[in-house]
Structure 1
Amino acid sequence: MNQSVEHLNIQKKSAKAGDSIPHESAHLHVTGQATYIDDLPELENTLHLAVGFSQCAKGKIVQFDLDAVRQAEGVYAVYTAADIAVKNNWGPIVNDDPIFADGEVEFYGQALFVVAAKTYQQARRAVRLAKIEYEAETPILSIQDAIEQQSWVLPPVDFSHGEVEQAFQTASHQLSGSIELGGQEHFYLEGQISYAVPQEDQTLKVYCSTQHPTEMQLLICHALGYHMHQVSVEARRMGGGFGGKESQSAQWACIASLAAQLSGHPCKLRLDRDDDMSSTGKRHGFAYEWSVAFDELGVLQGLKVQLASNCGFSADLSGPVNERAICHIGNAYYLNAVQLRNLRCKTNTVSNTAYRGFGGPQGMFVIENILDDIARYLKCDPVLVRQRNFFAEKPGNGRDHMHYGAEVRDNVAPKIVDELLATSHYHARRASIAQFNQHNAIIKRGIALTPLMFGISFNAVHYNQAGALVYVYMDGTVAITHGGTEMGQGLYTKVRQVAAHELGLPIDRVRLIATDTSRVPNTSATAASSGADLNGKAVQNACIKIRERLAKLAAEISQSDADQIHFENSTVTTNNGQSWSFNDLVNRAYMARVQLWDSGFYKTPEIHYDQVNHLGRPFFYYAYGAAVSEVAIDTLTGEMKVLRTDILHDVGRSINPAIDIGQIEGGFIQGMGWLTTEELYWQPQGPHAGRLFTHAPSTYKIPTSADIPHVFNVKLFDNQNAADTIYRSKAVGEPPFMLGLSVFSAIRQAVQAAIPEDAPLELNAPATAEEILRAIAIGRGQALADQPQPRLR
């Protein structure tokens, strides 16, 4: 791979925000010393858990014989729904997620019971001895079937803005179409795991691989009948999360905690990879029906879209995920008149959940395809159509409000696109690709640019808050803890930089303490890309309080101005020339009984949102970016290769450029995988209808090193956040994921080159080899003699 990034001067001991500091656990990761939950020393008498899962997608349980399970070697106990005395539910919003199915099952792979045994292997063997019979019913497995049967987890949502019907009556041109978009497995490297340890006086300590410790604490309490001060949840690090450990870690935490409460033993539950993939939720698949009205230049006049999502059997986080899709339906484009209908479909598959982008990618997907279709209809460059539909660069000039009412104050999308067009040599390459396609019948190439405009904040306003604790010890070292969780994204590293920067210390003088609900309570989920925004500000708030107290002491000693005292390079200096080492001043402060620790708090300002009318300002600011991707497809086999990708992305004033560029690269590749190779497939019929076939690395294909573009150029856009964020930085976790849309758009251009100019172009996502061949065959009017079963999205 030929990779080009901005020059990164990696600093190991710098205290400055804005430097490229190595990830705080990188040396532990590469040496195998990083401690994950399964690496924790097991306490004496620890029981190992294995879950029994349903083998029916929908039906009633008519026989539930666990006698052989209970009598199996090493088994201590077996627990079912009947053992949950308080609340058999782990649903994060709606009470429709049973911890164990009770009397009926709603998807293939639903948890039925748990075995507690002396060893993991004994528990796994015992589970297989269960004798369970079902009175099967016909499951709903696709969005189309759910729509036909009006099967919803939540009622349909209708939203409109502007004079939609008038726009369609007066517009010069109209198009309509439909497209489907598959879901996506999280494929975190560390599977779901919880280790629950009973402690004295009816209390419980739970080590959980989760993005939302407080929600785990709350739901465990609901299941066990405890109060929150009886349960603490700790999360030092996760081996990946991507949204799959925001809400869905709760079921396994509840099961482990229930077993610990009932047995009185420490209990560990670690899901096998196949069970994890079969029994945990995915990204929501979507199906779209759309109509668009536009003028001679391709400027949007009116838009109608029906977005139908596969939510699975329960609500989980489908409400806010779909709300986010509605918010991001326009991506970086001004929508003057829009009419949306959102169907949250109930199917008999696992309940789908949060995933990087949280509905934003599904919203943006359809508008990017619509603009490509408009460009094809008008026979012009799709980039021109995109540029003509951008928001105004400055507010107050019209075209400056989102369809949900928020003013766009910081639009840099046009500047990013202009710069990327130049640096990627887009226009020259597009002309060269057109020539290539004229002279090559089998291999066809495509190139596309897609922009990005992604709102940063939780749609649920109350989650936009964070707390932190900062401790300065008498030797001048610092420990910090906060409500955010580390899943490899570098949050702990950035927050260390904040503390070091504020106190003028080298980075090795600052240590992170594991996130724990007994230290910082009422934590928000580490999600919505806001981990550094929220927790960085909270840590800064605590550091400022401590620094001000130290400055006051220094001013008293030196009879100088407290406002003119500087903390830098481990030295505290006054305006009259006196100075101390940070250690010395801290020791003096301790002897003078000055408080050397403090709490910090932050809440995001200005945001508000009416979730009933879908109006307000749900986002504090927007992150922008753009990607140009070039692909080649083989029209005989359907194989596809990404040849080159150029990315220009806006992270404001980066706290850590190395980490941010890593997030951009990883997010893009994950987004590319979602749209190309990562296909979910459920058995459509028969006695095992609803069984997930793609439940292992052998059958589910995430991108590998061989799939990374041979030329991969990533650059940070020179910008400062207009909003008052931590050091004027911008979030980077989720936004780059959507840059993968450039790959799908480029594949569409390549398929377009392989079919007649006016032929239908019907390409769904993921654009697997089979899907590319299908689109080419349809475009060429070739009959598909053995057309496969439609995919269940």
Structure 2
Amino acid sequence: MRKLSDVDKGLKGKKSSGAVGQSIKHESAEMHVTGKAVYTDDKLESLGQLHAAVGMATIASGHITAIDLSAVRAAQGVVAVITLDDIVGHTDIGPVFPGDPILTKDVVEFYGQAIFAVAATSHELAKQAVALAKIDYQETTPVLTIEQALKAKSFVRPPHSMKRGDSASAIEQAKHQLSGQIAIGGQEHFYLEGQIASVIPTEDGGMTVYSSSQHPAEVQKLVAEVLGIPFNRVVVDMKRMGGGFGGKETQAAGWSCLAAVLANKTQKAVKLRLNRSDDMMMTGKRHPFENHYQVGFNGQGVIEGIDLTVNGNCGYSPDLSDAIVDRAMFHADNGYYLDHVSITGNRCKTNTASNTAFRGFGGPQGMMIIECVMDDIAYSLGLDPLAVRKANLYGTDTRNITPYHQQVEHNNLAEMITKLELSSRYAERCQEIDDFNASSKFLKKGISLTPVKFGISFTAQHLNQAGALINIYTDGSVDVTHGGTEMGQGLHTKIAQIVAQVFGIAVDNVKVSATRTDKVPNASPTAASSGTDLNGKAAQNAAQTIKQRLIDFAVEHFAVDSDDISFSDDAIDAGQHKLSFVELVQKAYFARVSLSSTGFYRTPKIYYDRENAQGRPFFYFAMGASVSEVLIDTLTGEYKLLQTDILHDVGDSLNPAIDIGQIEGGYIQGVGWLTTEELHWNDKGRLLTTGPATYKIPAISDAPKVFNVELLKDSPNREATIYHSKAVGEPPFMLAISVWSALRAAIANAVPVQDRVKGVIPSLDTPATPERVLKAVQLINAQQGIATDE
């Protein structure tokens, strides 16, 4: 149940015609639900437009020994066929490190790797043509698992470590020791709009690219490099995506590049759209991880020393895996102070599609290991897991230094947990659950409260910058272009609110245009939850520049002091003079005052010395906490999510409706990752789960029956973010960890209290499918029997 009314009450005193802080609807909401929203595939086709398809490898590891494309070239409707030999510029499109060939003609490193591409007169004919290729291979044994990669020392990048204190000695000297591990499955992005690009040749030898991409500037760069032309000959236009979640941060670029090569060869517009099964086969996913720990702790469950290892399955190439595994390491502490700590991250190379960014960017996989530790400590000591979590939380004045030596400032996590305990009736429900479990033989309930502390900033320092362009027209309407991309998350809506707030005008008078590389150059990707933080500040900067010009003009024109000028309700007060915003704009225009400005912002304070594993990689931390209650059937492993209560800190919310929507959506997507979304490959490295028939994302029936989401009140961001808000895109995803922890509690409750042996720990890898839950129930019953006999 949403609590928007309560949030809005707290914002009444700060509302303005600019609408910052108000729950206004998404700027494209009506177009989304009526089908009028135009996506890349909906754009009107150009005269003679062609359609592309990609021929892919059908082995996971080996070499191409022969290739015959004669039947492909002769197929109906085929206009052009390209291979690696047709690339005149760069052939490697790796976003950070090399290793991502646009096409291969020799070595095959995953099932689905692109070998050639076809342009034909229709999508169907192009797909039929690629199936006619005759390719011979010399197969080699693929590396498909993290265990195999570690054994073979197969890595895409070297390992990295961070530490503070002496973890080995602290573990040895602690009263209690434990070791354990957890396997964490990957996740398909499953955006509603698949990977797609439409490319049109221009008269100057360049290209106009319409790409469903979170990073238009990178698409511009790579298309230009592949074609061997200057960047300024390529313009990328991105109005909206039908979802991205990280899957279109780097991996949208390759399809634009292939379409551009075909467009250049044919001098016709070319559209390349991947079918769902091809998309899932050929593109990377959330990294699966296998994490290990050794921990020493006292009788109250307080950690005294801990050694963590996080192993990410990166696929065949580096892509963004170095930074993703780094972020897993950065978040392996979650909200807990680890006094003597050592963390190592391995970037394992396997013969699968190169895994890539996904909401949370490695953070969720890192958090899972420490939450596993918290539960394991609690079960080993016979304590309430929440008591162990609270005993280990970061402090405010002491116990507040992370393993990478950043101070956790403005920490309100303990306060939030206390508030959520009360509002969710956590203690009372624990007793009610105990009573239910005592009287129910086969159905068992579990409950868990888990926190989230998520760092906000790109960990690559240079990406923490943004630009914007604002134009005011003589009718008073405002056009904004910024470097961020809209993928349904409401970024454009918040930017419009910010600009309207600066000028004191109605938000309906502000239009946010498509993201274009010829308007805002060198923009960072829309990722790392920084879209509003960065682009909102850049847009505010541009708006304030124009506003200052208007103020300077009004001071001179009306002979008043600048302190006498105010903007509100679409009007300007200048001493005794009152006029509309439009009138002021028109007067300024005739006085030859510029009504256009760029804006720029770069995040302050952040740095990271990777060699010494120390620094401040994050500008601030976003905090949240969730309580989830589940019911499992111990005979089948089936379960239901009964109730979820969330308290999340977004600072001073720019738009409570959008923020709560992001929290709800992120949480449900996280539930899918941890419970139902299971990826399967066969022993030859072919992905078997290639569509909704075999890969289960959450449906509305999987949402909790009772769903309470509340924003923390009176908690402005103490850092100088845009209107003191906090990022909300990724942090809520990890609130779903409470569901996994609640399932573990329910599994533990499968053994009656009177028969329970302290120290037996329920094991549950993810995704926690009903099959895994059933196996965990059977295992813990067997372990209890063994422990009792002993």
Give the TM-score normalised by structure 1. Answer: 0.96
Q: Which residue of 133, 136, 148 corresponds with 1:133?
A: 136
Aligned residue number for residue 748 of structure 1: 744
* 732, 737, 740: which one aligns with 2:733: 737
What is the DSSP-based 3-state SS (H/G/I as helix, E as strand, rest coil) of the residue aligned with 1:672?
Answer: helix
Q: Deviations over 1:145-168 (max 9, x none)?
A: 111111111112232211212211
Contact 1:3 1:711 in 2 (8 A): no
Which amino acid in 2 is paired with 1:367?
I
* Residues in 2 aligned to 1:611 and 1:199: alpha-carbon distance in whole angstroms: 43
1:694 equivalent in structure 2: 689
Find the aligned partners of 1:19 and 1:764 in 2 and give their Cα distance.
Answer: 41
Listed as ranges, the matches of 1:57-456 within 5 Å are 57-393=60-396, 397-456=397-456
Q: Distance in 1 between matches of 2:308 and 2:353?
A: 26
Match in the other structure for 1:716:
711
Q: Which amino acid aligns with 1:291?
A: Q
2:468 alignment partner, SS class: strand
CA distance in 2, matches of 1:479, 1:119: 37
Deviation string 1:83-109 (CA, Å, 9 cap, x unpaired) is 112221121011100111221211111
**Any idea what SS the aligned residue of 1:109 has?**
coil
Distance in 2 (alpha carbons) for counterparts of 1:750 and 1:116 = 55
Residue pair 1:759, 1:780 contacting (<8 A) in 2 also:
no
Distance 1:165 1:290 in 2: 12
- The alpha-carbon distance between structure 1 residues 60 and 631, as it changes in their structure 2 partners (threshold 3 A), is same
Asked if 1:630 corresponds to 2:625, the answer is no
Q: Deviations over 1:25-68 (max 9, x none)?
A: 00111111111000100100111001111110111112211111
Q: Percent same amino acid at aligned positions?
A: 51
Displacement after TM superposition at 1:172 (Å): 1.1
Q: What code does the residue aligned with 2:745 have? A: Q
* Structure 2 partner of 1:788: none
Unaligned runs of 5+ in 2: 785-790
Distance of 1:442 and 1:66 partners within structure 2? 60
1:349-405 deviation digits (Å, cap 9, x = unpaired)? 110000000011011011001000111111111111111111113xxx321211111
Query: Does structure 2 conserve the Cα–Cα contact (< 8 Å) formed by 1:6 and 1:715?
Result: no
Contact kept, 8 Å, 2:161 with 2:613, in 1: the verdict is no
Partner of 2:644: 645
Q: Match of 1:707?
A: 702
**Letter of the 1:716 counterpart:** L
Asked whether the equivalents of residues 14 and 21 of structure 1 are also in contact (C-alpha less than 8 Å), the reply is: no
Q: Relative to 1, partners in 2 of residues 1:742 and 1:702: Cα closer, same or farther, differing over 3 Å?
A: same
Q: Give, in angstroms, the shift of residue 312 of structure 1.
A: 0.4
Partner residue of 2:489? 489
CA positional deviation for 1:557: 2.1
Question: Which residue does 1:789 correspond to in 2?
Answer: none
Instruction: Report the equivalent of 1:767.
Output: 768
> What letter corresponds to residue 180 of structure 2 in structure 1?
G
Contact 1:6–1:716 under 8 Å retained in 2: no
SS of alignment partner, residue 445 of structure 1: strand
Q: Distance in 2 between matches of 1:564 and 1:690?
A: 70
Q: Is the 8 A contact 2:376 2:761 kept in 1?
A: no
Q: Does 1:573 align with 2:573?
A: yes
The 2-side partners of 1:223 and 1:470 are apart by 32
Aligned to 1:583: 582
- Report the Cα offset of residue 513 of structure 1: 1.0
Q: Is the 8 A contact 1:625 1:648 kept in 2?
A: yes
Residues in 2 aligned to 1:681 and 1:3: alpha-carbon distance in whole angstroms: 36
Which letter does structure 1 place at the counterpart of 2:283? T
SS at match of 1:312: coil
TM-score (norm. length: structure 2)? 0.96
After superposition, residues 538-577 of structure 1 pair within 5 angstroms as 538-574=538-574, 576-577=575-576
Give, in whole Å, the separation in 2 of the partners of 1:388 and 1:127. 60
Deviation at 1:674, TM superposition (A): 0.3
Instruction: Report if the CA contact (8 A) 1:6-1:714 is conserved.
Output: no
Once the two structures are TM-superposed, the CA of residue 257 in structure 1 deviates from its matched residue by 1.0
The alpha carbon displacement at 1:7 in A equals 4.7
User: 1:480 aligns to what?
Assistant: 480
> What secondary structure sits across from 2:541 in the alignment?
helix
Residue-by-residue CA offset, 1:251-270 (whole Å, 9 max, x unaligned): 11111111111221111000
> Which AA in structure 2 matches 1:676?
T
CA distance in 2, matches of 1:368, 1:411: 19
Is 378-387 or 707-716 further displaced after alignment?
378-387
Is the 1:4–1:712 Cα contact (8 Å) retained in structure 2? Answer: no
State the distance in 1 between where 2:135 and 2:342 align.
48
> Greater CA deviation, 467-476 or 611-620?
611-620
How many angstroms does 1:781 deviate by? 2.4
CA positional deviation for 1:8: 6.9
Alpha carbons 2:380, 2:760 under 8 Å: kept: no
3-state SS, counterpart of residue 484 of structure 1: coil
Q: Distance in 2 between matches of 1:302 and 1:529?
A: 31
Which of 608-617 and 701-710 deviates more?
608-617
